[in-house]
Structure 1
């Protein structure tokens, strides 16, 4: 009934234009609708080749109590669910998930879309958040998903006359083929596998294979390996030795180091409080705590920072604590079995009718490359003076370790990330340096063209069809798609047909809801998958107890925020974080005589989008 009621209302008024309570319950109705219609399994019918299920009694103590390296045995009845090397699911029906082929794959030319509609001419900042928010989302996506690529099988894209690309045609490696397909899959559209664990298990730190986990462990008191307070170098790659280090840069280095330090601090406290714990128990429990703390920070801090809408602030906090809110939760614990009243952590797990997998559409809407600026401005924490200005090419990949371990003080780097703004997620704001990026293996890519091609190649619907499948009204004209008349004319010149607009381009052109850092189109996937990643995970639901986490671990999660984690390991940051309610919002600017709050804290709704 609630779904039908809001379906009628939303024909004329979207959820974000409703009064507060109506908007809040509208979001609940939208989530229920998406759970019912937009969780599509892609696994082989009949379960051929799947690992047999086990029970708590037969799983073995390690599989029952702790997260496995590859994510297996999270659901004991279906051990392969969410495991690294298993397929991405879909948020659209499979008949709408067939990849583009032939002329459709190349129309319009992805390189021309990149150059004409996406390339940054002038940097447009998102002034209500800081650069830490941009680094954070890459840190999280490295935990969630990664597609392999086929170096020997390329897609060739014609390069126009006058283009300065170094070769013609441009060559983009295809996404790695799914080698788990059988004859039973012949009627399915192409599927792709996730090389990371699908679960929110901090695999970006711990790895998604037993081999990588062994490399990052010290095997002393449950701790992870550090060398003089920094991550050691991986001799195989030349970048930091951590769970997942692709597309490495200083922002990732800071966060990976911070939460490696946090893991080790948790181990110290656990060893003090539970001296009988084995080394493996210390490690496994600390991973549980770190994973849950990351999920909490993302849910109640990062998301409200980048989506600063009053309804969303309450809704995201309700995902964690329920509508009863944190204060009552701390005083009395869960007041109800309902996730709406008392939050998802500690509620009963529920896959909502479809085995848990992350989706191709989820990966698509998290392509937020415009967040990255062109330079990192390094300022002194002592007085705010400019210490250095580094082009991004100087702080990425093999250069990142040098910056993190020599020259600038780490507290200056943290402070600089806290006061610098990322880019707004919109057209004409894709970093130019990412449109000609050379990876450590020598592969040279235009990541904007790659983003367009990946959606087409993997069968992610184009913008209007994507909206239809997620219960949104499609744009009938280019002027309806965006409130920027100049962009509307550019889109019309590039595409001609509104139905041909690529998902990435449409989302970047779309006028977002007030306070949003990205489009309402992308947000529909967030509504569905943000809660699903928690609700399907037994370590956040049924097993979110002191038996698994210990009393110390549960208290650690409850008591900590991004700010407290930063201050535990870098107490020098205290003056710049004083009075800052959210660590992903701009920090206080330090001067020789006093600290001030940047004027950028004002006018959030326009600032976050740059519009």
Structure 2
């Protein structure tokens, strides 16, 4: 049966679920209780570490640690000069739909989280001073890159993951952030003795300046993308890009997928956020997959709401696809890379609540609280600062070691041996050529049956250390060295200071940091003291908790920001309702996961995914369990 009702508007929503309710303010007594609980959890964690306890206790400690971080580690950097002035009266469309640039998510602060606003911080602003010229190049970032980060002859594999998990992380970070670069006044890094770099000095680009910074050495930087979890990597962060990907002639609300089931837009737009230099076949596969999913949702909506306009179908499909992506990341990707019982329970609780998915499906929300019934549908809460992605979040998500130096291509129907392909032969515009030659199904199978690299020292992709940029300047860069410079120039504290600001004890020696005498000696040969260790190097060097793909220091930012991206967004909280998403849209989000999305568009993957509990874990290969 089809429906001929109009799209929901603000007039259709009851007072209990009215669009645009301001974020809630937690009662004072509850805040006090949470504050005391957080102090208790932090005290226990500092002495014994949360992950050494049984699962129920670990969960309780994680919740307390998160509450403490929510209170003490959210800082706003925006001011009147840097914040766009928008009308307090939103366009009617944005009451029940996401805007292209992220504006009007919080109707009481319409510029919050929109593209072109500043990154926030997770450390006090007095601790975010960019490093001065005498220290920003010390130790030499190229030396750190070659001595400590460069991958050896063999990649260290992350055997619990597949390469699709590496592609997914890059797919998501392109939704969340991009700084842009400035090659007009590059860093001049002295070439270390014996280095094979062709020039001396080595020139590496700086971060693009904040146009509203009030000093020559800015402490603030601007996000070119929307800060919200809104699938802007697909739909863009401005109206021009969104217009370029829409194709109403294919059907109401649809986006640009051609008759060959591949993306049908100007190749110059493929890179969008993050640039074409970061584009590769894994990204194109995921962009294509979820653009096709968008069009499938449009078909469903058009069949149920025959009188809706092209914009109405597009807006609802975007809401549904963005929520499905957020669900997949929360419930599946996260539990693949943090494969530990407490995290599997905790991340599912972020979405479904501790009452669980079955209770949520059968009875809906039991309470307004996020603990029992999950964040989606709970009241919006920004906690202690207006919402934004933070510089520290960007810094800890530098996980380039996940990327392999070569891909292993195989056919879902073919023989067992795989064909190695250098990564750059699948990157940039080579990605489309490969898709046309090999087909999306076989390439997804290839990524699903191969391991990415472990996030560790001596595992940074070799090709990224001599990467020729294609955009604007043709500059050759060492991305490992650039990763270090980015934290130094943006005032992200070095590893030990960062740990203390995250309420963790500092490490007292190189041996304590790594637990490996050989690695400790390598670190000591590069850094004068353990306090000088760069954040990225320290994060790669520390030993993760069992089952974790990264260390406990990274995890602090993760547990704070993973829930914040949901809790601050009204489309995941007060407006995560059938009135806004439609009943059919809510059912679509509830019924689907990464596996069902893959099988809807690539049914030949069914044998490879049969019995696989998580689509980001290695898939089946006939005659063997996994393939490196």
* Normalised TM-score (structure 2): 0.91
Equivalent residue for 1:580? 612
Equivalent residue for 1:128? 160
Equivalent residue for 1:426? 456
1:436 aligns with 2:466: yes
Equivalent residue for 1:510? 542
Deviation at 1:439, TM superposition (A): 2.0
Judged with a 3 Å threshold, the aligned counterparts in structure 2 of structure 1 residues 28 and 100 are, in CA distance, closer, same or farther, namely same
Equivalent residue for 2:70? 35
1:89, 1:360 within 8 Å by CA — same for their partners in 2? yes
Which residues in structure 2 correspond to 1:64-463 (within 5 Å)?
A: 64-121=95-152, 122-181=154-213, 190-220=219-249, 221-227=252-258, 228-236=260-268, 239=270, 247-386=278-417, 388-406=419-437, 408-441=438-471, 442-463=474-495
Deviation at 1:163, TM superposition (A): 1.1
* CA distance, structure 1, for counterparts of residue 38 and residue 271 of structure 2: 48
* CA distance, structure 2, for counterparts of residue 245 and residue 555 of structure 1: 36
* CA distance, structure 1, for counterparts of residue 96 and residue 543 of structure 2: 46
Equivalent residue for 2:496? 464
SS in 1 for 2:409: strand
* CA distance, structure 2, for counterparts of residue 244 and residue 96 of structure 1: 30
Deviation digits for residues 276-314 of structure 1 (CA, Å, limit 9, x no counterpart): 111100000000001000000000000000000110111
1:204, 1:243 within 8 Å by CA — same for their partners in 2? no
Equivalent residue for 2:14? none
Deviation at 1:4, TM superposition (A): 2.6
Deviation digits for residues 232-283 of structure 1 (CA, Å, limit 9, x no counterpart): 352546x568997551000001000000000000000000011111110000
Equivalent residue for 2:560? 528
* CA distance, structure 1, for counterparts of residue 200 and residue 274 of structure 2: 36
1:492 aligns with 2:524: yes
* CA distance, structure 2, for counterparts of residue 590 and residue 226 of structure 1: 32
SS in 2 for 1:481: helix
SS in 2 for 1:582: coil
2:75, 2:384 within 8 Å by CA — same for their partners in 1? no
Which residues in structure 2 correspond to 1:18-33 (within 5 Å)?
A: 18-33=53-68
Equivalent residue for 2:5? none
Judged with a 3 Å threshold, the aligned counterparts in structure 2 of structure 1 residues 444 and 599 are, in CA distance, closer, same or farther, namely closer
* CA distance, structure 1, for counterparts of residue 419 and residue 537 of structure 2: 34
Gapped runs of 5+ residues in structure 1?
601-611
Equivalent residue for 2:13? none
Judged with a 3 Å threshold, the aligned counterparts in structure 2 of structure 1 residues 421 and 236 are, in CA distance, closer, same or farther, namely closer
* CA distance, structure 2, for counterparts of residue 253 and residue 80 of structure 1: 31
2:82, 2:212 within 8 Å by CA — same for their partners in 1? no
Judged with a 3 Å threshold, the aligned counterparts in structure 2 of structure 1 residues 307 and 241 are, in CA distance, closer, same or farther, namely closer
Deviation at 1:524, TM superposition (A): 0.2
Equivalent residue for 1:603? none
SS in 2 for 1:193: coil
SS in 2 for 1:194: coil
1:153, 1:174 within 8 Å by CA — same for their partners in 2? yes
Q: What RMSD in Å do the two structures reach over aligned CA positions?
A: 1.8
Equivalent residue for 1:14? 49
Q: Which residue, 555, 576, 583 being the options, matches 1:551?
A: 583
* CA distance, structure 1, for counterparts of residue 321 and residue 276 of structure 2: 18
Gapped runs of 5+ residues in structure 2?
1-35
1:154, 1:171 within 8 Å by CA — same for their partners in 2? yes
* CA distance, structure 1, for counterparts of residue 416 and residue 55 of structure 2: 43
SS in 1 for 2:296: helix
Deviates more, 1:381-390 or 1:481-490: 381-390
Deviation at 1:15, TM superposition (A): 0.6
SS in 2 for 1:12: helix
Deviation at 1:189, TM superposition (A): 5.7
Equivalent residue for 1:608? none
2:469, 2:476 within 8 Å by CA — same for their partners in 1? yes
Aligned residues: 587
* CA distance, structure 2, for counterparts of residue 440 and residue 233 of structure 1: 19
1:3 aligns with 2:31: no
SS in 2 for 1:153: strand
* CA distance, structure 2, for counterparts of residue 450 and residue 112 of structure 1: 12
Which residues in structure 2 correspond to 1:57-68 (within 5 Å)?
A: 58-68=89-99
Judged with a 3 Å threshold, the aligned counterparts in structure 2 of structure 1 residues 243 and 278 are, in CA distance, closer, same or farther, namely farther
* CA distance, structure 1, for counterparts of residue 277 and residue 597 of structure 2: 24
2:81, 2:212 within 8 Å by CA — same for their partners in 1? no
Deviation digits for residues 524-564 of structure 1 (CA, Å, limit 9, x no counterpart): 00010000000000000011011111011100000000000
1:208, 1:243 within 8 Å by CA — same for their partners in 2? no
1:6, 1:29 within 8 Å by CA — same for their partners in 2? yes
Judged with a 3 Å threshold, the aligned counterparts in structure 2 of structure 1 residues 339 and 500 are, in CA distance, closer, same or farther, namely same
Judged with a 3 Å threshold, the aligned counterparts in structure 2 of structure 1 residues 465 and 240 are, in CA distance, closer, same or farther, namely closer
* CA distance, structure 2, for counterparts of residue 12 and residue 90 of structure 1: 27
* CA distance, structure 2, for counterparts of residue 180 and residue 189 of structure 1: 9
SS in 1 for 2:187: strand
Judged with a 3 Å threshold, the aligned counterparts in structure 2 of structure 1 residues 276 and 316 are, in CA distance, closer, same or farther, namely same
Equivalent residue for 2:32? none
Deviation digits for residues 162-183 of structure 1 (CA, Å, limit 9, x no counterpart): 211121111111111101335x
SS in 2 for 1:589: coil
Deviates more, 1:433-442 or 1:493-502: 433-442
